Amino acid sequence: MSLETISKHACFGGTVGFYRHQAESTRCAMKVAVFTPPQSAHGNVPVLTYLAGLTCTEETFVVKAGALRLAAELGLMLIAPDTSPRGEGVPGDPAGGWDFGLGAGFYLDATRAPYDTHYRMYSYLTQELPKTIAAHFPADMTRQGIFGHSMGGHGALTLALKNPDTYRSVSAFAPIVAPTQVPWGEKAFTGYLGDDKAAWRAYDATELASRWAGREILIDQGLADNFLEKQLKPELFEAACAKAGVTLTLRRHAGYDHGYYFVQTFVDDHLRWHAARL
């Protein structure tokens, strides 16, 4: 379970590192960014994984979100993996689209060829990456939270809902909450999973909400988000949570769009949310 250091940088008393390792689950080299807070010098610290959105990489969150200062203060280790497998032989969108294939793994295990060989991000994130982190960093894997943005919000919600014993906390920025009912999800799920709608529902947060019954979720959504009505539809997840007995804090913000200025504005609230539960 080797891990190659690409670069490492001092930051707020801790370190930001960019790493690469050969992943069995995705059958390719995967990259991940890790912020190790200064408190790790005295023992293992809680782990908060961030899943980025369409077209993003392992660098996006640590560079753009402005989260590292408060993570250092709170003693949170931040894990930011890439959004899809990449490299020679990894297929992308044959039509050249940006919302499927490379950079758009949708955090699932593909079952349709040719994507089933490499696009196994669900297994990578729930099994292989945590073991790699535990082997190489001062991480307390009994205290894990997860959050994400857009496609990554979809990933964070579904990973948490499917693995409630693994994750103590979950939150999201502008997540795709009902992918089986929106164009992004329909395209991705057809390509990765085929036409079986039952397989689609296994990766739909609105369908999975009952698995988080009795617990809390935080979501922030900008009302100037140009994807809000067609692709995101937070009201569907809101209704599912109300029915399932999930305490959902869904904050709607006038004037905010879908990008990282929005994420920067509210990321401190999310870090404190997770820290209180980890």
User: Known catalytic residue: 225?
Assistant: yes
Radius of gyration of the chain (CA): 17
User: Known catalytic residue: 149?
Assistant: no
User: Known catalytic residue: 258?
Assistant: yes
Q: Which of 118, 171, 225, 274 is catalytic?
A: 225
With CA atoms as reference, report the closest residue to 61 among 98, 34, 40, 36: 34
Helix, strand, or coil (residue 5)? strand
Q: Which of 118, 149, 154, 258 is catalytic?
A: 258
Q: Which of 25, 82, 118, 150 is catalytic?
A: 150
Task: Identify the burial level of 10 via C-beta atoms within 10 angstroms of its C-beta, where 0-12 means exposed, 13-18 middle and 19 or more buried.
Answer: exposed
Alpha-carbon distance 244 to 227, whole Å?
26
Q: CA–CA distance from 24 to each of 6, 38, 156, 223 (Å)?
A: 20, 31, 22, 41
Alpha-carbon distance 278 to 271, whole Å?
10
Q: Which residues are catalytic?
A: 150, 225, 258
